[in-house]
Amino acid sequence: MTAPDFASFSFPEPPTFPGGGNQIRIDPAAKNPITAAIQKASPNSTIIVPAGEYFDNVVIDRPIEIIAEGQATIKAALAKDTFTVNDNCHIKGIQIVPGDSQATSTMKVNSGSVLIEECIMVTQMVPTLLIGPKASNVFIRKSTLQSEAVCGLRVQGSMALELSESQLVNTTGAGIMLTGNSKLHTFSSVIASCGDAGIVALESSSLYLDSTQISQCAGNGLELDTQGETTITQCLISACSYCGINALGATRGKIYNTSIEQCYGGISASEQYHVTLEGCQISNCSQDGALAAAIGATMELSGCVLQGSSTLGIQCNASQVTVTGCQLSSLTGAGITIVNGGNMTIDSTSIKDITENAIEVSNNSRLTMSNSSVENTDLIGLFVEGNSSVDVNTCSFSKCGVVSCHFIDSTQNSNFEKCTFVESNGNGFNIGKASPRFTECAFHASTFAGVEIKGQSTSPQFFACQFTGNKVVGVSVVEGASPYFDGCAFTTNLGSGITISKSACTVSQCALMNNSKMGLFAFDGANVQIEKSMFQENNNFGIQVQKKGTTVTVSECEIQKHQNSGGVILEEGCHLSMVRSSVHDNKAPNIEARRDARLEIEGSDISKSVGGNSIMIHEGGSGVINTSFIHDEEESGVLIGNNGNAEVTGCDISNCDVAAIYLLQGSDGNIHGNRIHDNKVSGVHIVTGSPKVVDNIIEDQAYGIYIESGAFPQISGNQFNRNSQTNVNRA
């Protein structure tokens, strides 16, 4: 990253002396020896000052060069300024000392341009250089200026000041103050130990600072309140009591490859200032300052490093901020805050080792973030609140101390795409009173839930997302939320894939597999719609439904291979409706309804439970089973018992080793219009009660209907074919 060439700054050239004059060596024995030599000199002459100490008050009234030969000192003879400049001059290699009065300066420039080289200039109460409004330009090279004045150098009007390979130190106020349309160029220089700011630029002044150090200032390192142009490259600003750079006003500054360290704050831009930082490092600011703060401004950071003990990395307050290819790390406070309608774009940036929240977005603000990472925060990776919105693409959030993302109280549209939220010490993602959209995101290995969705007015949407390896649950939905999941995978969670309590939820085209508990657990008044989804090899149940008021609808799903438990269990007054689904190869029973639960099945295929019955309805449970295929069971297709009640209509039930339908003691049922065939022992087995068995086709069993002695069923209109023992057997 390279700063604009200095030539583009339009800085004037130093004065030149084309010759035509004479060379004069001063007479050390003369009174006021330099003045005497000037009076003899023609324009463009050179005056040679041998080593030694001289007393004079020098007035330059013609273009001239004064060059030391050895170590020369010129001290004011009277209580006036040592040098007074009224024309172009070049002064080299001289130590200039003011008179005994503290109110005198080493040099006063009234007019003309001055080139000062290899000089030492020391004053007390006034600046080393007094530069008048009619002066042209001052060039200070390889020199030291030391002053206890309120302002070290004041540059005004349209003049230009160059400070090259020089030092300006120990002012009681600002080091350099620019006003009017003045210009400042520094190169390889030091401005230090100022009682206020190192440099103050006001009005329409402009700056080009190159390879310069500004340090130990009691105010800001740089204070910019100018309409002019500012360029800073390869500088070091350090140990200032306020900000390294404080910029305001409707203009633009460009900062390249510059370091700001150990100041109260790094850079602060406000009042419509537009600042660009490229390749900069800002570090170790005080506990109360931000490394970079934009307040009603525009800030662009590219390739920057922000790190160290600071309570805030970047502040975007009612501002436009862009962060590209940057690193934020080891902050003792928050990483980034976006507040009061701020708008920030983050791209290809790393944020890690943050003591508080990594990113905070609040008060109607906006974040766009891509190709970036947040890692190892003590609190929250991304905190969004106050009707703010985010658009996050291809980002990772990992190892956050509380939660990877906490998203609440926003009606604005927000999107997360191709993001990962992993190894959070709490939940992977919290959502409350907000409805962001997620596409192809992964929520993995968090200590609690991959995502917690909570509260009314909370309706996030998830498309092709993965919830895996979370230690409690993949997704928890509670307290009136209503999320939507499409094409998602809930797998290998150490608890359930998804739990829904007192909320509504839609699950479409999802896979819920290999979870340590249930694939889906709905309870406490949940209302769940499940369609075209796969439940497989969860350790407990594919679907568990509990509590009165809980309703689950299952459509076009497959529930299989739950070897340690059944496919579906309903209990405690809940309701499940299943349509056009397949439930098979689960530990018996495939589906169980008990404790006042109600089951409805239509157009489904239920078969091949491991070791028992396909459907079991008991303990006050009830069911309506229509137009379904139930087959290939080691015991019975439908078992109704213990005060269970079922209506079985229009079904095809076959190849069960005990009975197609088995009604135990205390059960009741209505068996109507079914085809019951090829079961090994009986089509319908009735132990007690008075169930109805009407208008069925019952064929190819040993017994069509087997009635035990305590049963008095209502049997009529059935068609019996090829039952090998008898059509109706009464014990």
Q: 3-state secondary structure string, 480-528?
A: CCCCEEECCEEECCCCEEEEEECCEEEEECCEEECCCCCCEEEECCCEE
Backbone angles phi and psi of 435, in degrees to 5: -135, 60
Asked whether residue 505 falls in the same domain as residue 608, the answer is: no
32: in domain? no
One domain for residues 484 and 605: no
- Give the confidence band of 151 by pLDDT, cuts at 50, 70, 90: confident
pLDDT at position 127, please? 80
Q: Are residues 623 and 644 in the same domain?
A: yes
Averaged pLDDT for residues 204-227: 96
pLDDT above 70 for 3: no
Task: Verify that 654 and 720 share a domain, yes or no.
Answer: yes
The pLDDT of residue 147 is 83
Which 8-state DSSP code applies to residue 13? Answer: P
Q: Is it the case that residue 149 has pLDDT exceeding 80?
A: no
Residue scoring higher pLDDT (131 or 657): 657
List pLDDT tens digits, range 577-631. Answer: 999 999 999 999 999 999 999 999 999 999 999 999 999 999 999 999 999 999 9
Residue at a domain's end among 587, 619, 648: 587
Name the band, by pLDDT with cuts 50, 70 and 90, for residue 5. Answer: low
| Tokens (6 digits) for 677 | 């065939």
Query: Mean pLDDT across the stretch 469-483?
Result: 98
Contact 450, 426 (CB under 8 A): no
Separation CA 73–CA 81 (nearest Å): 15
Q: Which CATH number characterizes residue 630's domain?
A: 2.160.20.10
* Residue 640 shares a structural domain with residue 654: yes
The greatest distance separating any two alpha carbons of the chain, rounded to the nearest whole angstrom, comes to: 149
Supply the pLDDT for residue 562.
98
User: Is residue 154 situated within a structural domain?
Assistant: no
| Listed range (289-298, 643-652, 691-700) with the worst mean pLDDT | 289-298
pLDDT for residue 653: 99
Identify the residue whose tokens are 């040592």: 82
Q: Where are the alpha helices (DSSP H) in 117-160?
A: none
What's the rounded Cα separation, in Å, for the pair 47 and 24? 5
Pairing of the two strands 199-203 and 697-699: unpaired
Q: Is residue 49 part of a domain?
A: no
Please state, in angstroms and as integers, the Cα–Cα distance from residue 123 to each residue in 14, 154, 197, following that order: 25, 14, 19
Query: End of a domain among 560, 587, 614?
Result: 587
659 and 562 in a common domain: no
Residue 1 has pLDDT above 60, yes or no: no
In a domain, 281, yes or no: no
499 and 536 together in one domain: yes
Q: Is the pLDDT of residue 274 over 60?
A: yes
Query: Hey, what's the torsion of the CAs at 416, 422, 426, 431, to 10 degrees?
Result: 10
Residue 503 lies in a domain: yes
Backbone angles phi, psi at 570, to 5 degrees: -120, 140
Count of domains in the chain?
2
Lowest mean pLDDT among 102-111, 669-678, 704-713: 102-111
Burial class (CB in 10 A: 0-12, 13-18, 19+), 520: buried
Q: Which 8-state DSSP code applies to residue 596? A: T
User: Exposure string (b/e) for 622-645, b if CB count within 10 Å is 16 or more?
Assistant: bbbbbbbbbbbbbbbbbbbbbbbb
> What SS3 class is residue 34?
helix
Lowest mean pLDDT segment, chosen from 283-297, 361-375, 519-533: 283-297
**Burial state string for 384-403 with b = 16 or more CB within 10 A and e = fewer than 16:** bbbebbbbbbbbbbbbbbbb
Candidates 279, 237, 271, 272; CA nearest to 254 is 279
Give CA–CA dist 633/679, Å, rounded. Answer: 9
- 294-308 b/e (C-beta count within 10 Å ≥ 16 → b): bbbbbbbbbbbbbbb
Helix then strand then coil, in percent of the chain rounded to 5, is: 0, 55, 45
What average pLDDT score do residues 487-493 get?
99
pLDDT more than 70, % of the chain: 98
| Same domain membership, residue 610 and residue 481 | no
Query: Rounded to whole angstroms, how far apart are CA atoms 390 and 384?
Result: 8
According to DSSP, residue 6 is labeled: G
> Nearest 5°: CA angle at 67, between 65 and 71?
160
Instruction: Please report whether residue 358 resides in a domain.
Output: no
86-139 confidence digits (pLDDT tens): 999 999 999 998 877 766 788 999 999 999 999 999 887 788 888 888 888 999
The rounded Cα 344 to chain-centroid distance in angstroms is 10
Higher per-residue confidence, 151 vs 413? 413
Q: Report percent pLDDT > 90 for the chain.
A: 87
Tell me: do 554 and 673 sit in the same domain: no
Distance CA 189, CA 152 (A): 14
pLDDT tens for residues 439-451? 999 999 999 999 9
Same domain? 517 vs 621: no
Name the residue among 478, 490, 603, 506 with its Cα closest to residue 542. Answer: 490
CB atoms within 10 A of CB 518: 28
Among 356, 304, 355, 313, residue whose Cα is nearest residue 338: 313
Domain end position, chosen among 530, 562, 587 = 587
What pLDDT is recorded for position 2?
61
- State residue 156's pLDDT score: 87
> Do 581 and 597 belong together in one domain?
no
Enclosing H/E stretch for 714: strand 714-716
Q: Are residues 501 and 625 in the same domain?
A: no
Whole-number pLDDT of residue 80: 87
Beta partners for residue 570, in sequence order: 545, 593
**560 — phi, psi (to 5°)?**
-150, 160
The per-residue DSSP string of 308-337 comes to SS-SEEEEEESSEEEEES-EEEEESSEEEE
Write down the pLDDT at residue 380.
98
| Domain enclosing residue 571, as ranges | 448-587
State the chain's mean pLDDT as an integer: 95
Residue 248 lies in a domain: no
In a domain, 492, yes or no: yes
**CA pseudo-torsion sign 23, 26, 31, 32:** positive
**Where on the phi/psi map is residue 211: left (φ > 0), alpha (ψ -120 to 50), or beta?**
left
CA pseudo-torsion sign 723, 724, 729, 731: negative
